[in-house]
Structure 1
Amino acid sequence: MSSKYRVFLALPLLFVFCLAAGASGGVSIVPGPNAAEQLQEALITAEPGSTINLAEGTYVLSDGLSLDIPDVTIRGAGMNKTVLSFGDQKAGGEGFLITSDNVVLEDFAVEDTKGDGIKSKGADQITYRRIRVAWSGGPKETNGAYGIYPVESKNVLVEESVVTGASDAGIYVGQSENIIVRNSIATHNVAGIEIENSKYADVYGNTVTHNTGGILVFDLPNLPVMGGHSVRVFDNQIVDNDTPNFAPEGNIVGMVAKGTGIMVMANRNVHVFNNTLKNNGTVHVLIATYPNEFDDDNYMPHPRAVMIRGNTYDGGGTEPDGEVGGIITGVTGTPVPDIVWDGVVPLTEWMTWTSDDDRIYVDEADGTTFANLYMIQNTLYPWSTSPDRDIEDYAGTVPEPKAVSLPQLQHTN
């Protein structure tokens, strides 16, 4: 064979090599009948420091994906351009599972997973950037529980992402530390954003609308990591949270009343400030003790060191929902005050409350309404059901947690 023919036959091989290598030196995948197998193979064989590029289009996947190689970037062409579709998923508890460190996920969508959308577990430096997770059938009990779901992780960044339709929480960060959730949109989930059993978290710049509850900061018993603390929720738009609760029976978020703006439960050193809360039908801000029985001697069910300040309130409290709404209005009537604290404190400290550092503090503009329900007192003395509406009794301060700093942001724009 002459040399000119050898060169001609090598050209297709060179083209295939360039496609696989990608413009940035990583691996590129394009939609097609073999894309699922190619993508999972790329995730298995990825080298640390490599990038997997997902071209524009829809990838039809019947099995969950997984990555356990550190220092890998998975990058699509845009959250509305590159779509991983799991509508025919047969196996896997989530669409995408990441169990390695220093992973960046950006510019793609995950739709209609059988279980959770994207889960990262035990990951250090995990970044979700411009990720969209959605269930296309609207709010349904059969949707996956969580959309973006980092758990037991540290140095977590979620930014510029969108989650719709989760039957528990759209953006959920649990049992983790050093967390930023910012500039994202959560809509038509049971909980828009939830920080649970976690410490050192900043939640800001987000739009949380048409969920059952907007932003939840919880601490729950009987989990490997407890004692959540040092959470800042600020500069968020929390408006029109009006979706009926569609959580499966038995889920803790099933107790969240439709029309809850922000709920702080059994967490410590939580600062809620500079948020806009509008038209949340049950209550804009609810501060509450964990309501269920538990057998965990290490668990503290009461919220402590909560600071509510400088927020803007508009409308709301005119359509209280469910058992929670009934309990509140049984004491306050309607409209429900902007800020409601159940007033439950440890029985051993009922008469003296707690140290100054553990109190509930409210410092809001004139015209903001508040109620302490005194639920322990009203249980012991049911003929006394008048709430304390005097914000001034609770004016004070607790030290604000420091801003969260993440290592992955030290070397990126």
Structure 2
Amino acid sequence: MISVREALQLVCDATSVLGAERLMLPGALGRVAAEDVVSGRAVPAAPNSAMDGYAVRHADVARAPARLRIVAVEPAGLVVSEAVTAGTAVKLFTGSVVPDGADTVVRREDTEERDGEVVVQVAPARGANIRGTGEDIRPGQVVVAAGSVLGPADLGVLASVGRATVGVHQRPRVVILATGSELVEVDEAPGPGQVVNSNAYTLAAAVREAGGEPIVLPIVRDQPHVIREALATALRADVLLTSGGVSVGDLDFVKEELAAVGVERLFWKVAQKPGKPLVFGRHAHGLVFGLPGNAVSALVCFYVYVRPALRRLQGHRRLHLPVVEATLVAAVRKTAGLTEFLRVRLDDGADGPVATALPSQSSGVLTSLGGGASLLVAPAERSELAAGVRYPVIVLSEATLARAAPSL
């Protein structure tokens, strides 16, 4: 049995980044750039006005008030031929190209226009309200670096330099295979001793949230030859997640059948709770995680181990969920020798986040992971966690850190 830290290191070391594909910009949000994108143009391409106003020579408006004759009007998108000369101005709008001869733009709010003339009432600084050529982007500039996660601004930048497509790392295809003769599909009424295959839905949602493409296979019964056939098919994916059959019961066949289809086992059993009987391995085409069948154990193992692997496959550099330090409200007993992931509720306290352990820590109570729950990481060497002490807490959902009211 290995430690959580050792298991995480093995997972990360065994995971490499997937290849690239080219996407149109609308489909690239949140993906990781697989290439440096270099601009072939300046943005803006020419000096333009930062606001509605008048293009002038600073020498004519250094002292206010100053009266100038309007020789042209230039809406954004058009370029007038008239140049600004002594005693003249060109009326501009936000984004209008600054005409020849002008070196300053006067805000409309600082002027009064009448009878073809404009009276400048406030003297501006030289060069005021002009966006220079290449102020945002210079020719030859790397506007998106390989490894960047593409956000809305990045897509806008790519559009501004004329790139309609971008190379990004592929999303991993993740096959989900639930095993267990007691399982039934969601639209079936469970009979005596049967349970709905909820893990398939939980894991598929978690995979999608992590950026992967889930592929859910039909339930596989607890029969070695049936499991072996299903595994052989499932190994064509980048990642295989099995659920159940990895412990020490008489009907836990998944570990042995993974070996039978050529999966190299890198570890089995981690000194943690929940999720001790986790299996991790690799094969010629990808990675395999043998998750426990208990609903909470499967999802906790996903958050701690599978999610970082899926993110690395996509080219992410920040693999892990955010962690905050929170003060434990009440003392909690735990199993010594195991790193324990306690389900807690995070609240705001006077001196920062506070964590309250949820009433049930059973590995079968999936509701304890809903509603914005987080995971307090309890050190393996402790048998009791003292109240009033700060512990690391893994934040599972960004909604947990969201605020109902602005904190500005």
What TM-score comes out, normalization by structure 1 length?
Answer: 0.21
- RCO higher in structure (CA 8 A, sep ≥6): 2
**Which has a greater percent of strand?**
1
**Which has a greater percent of helix?**
2
What TM-score comes out, normalization by structure 2 length?
Answer: 0.21
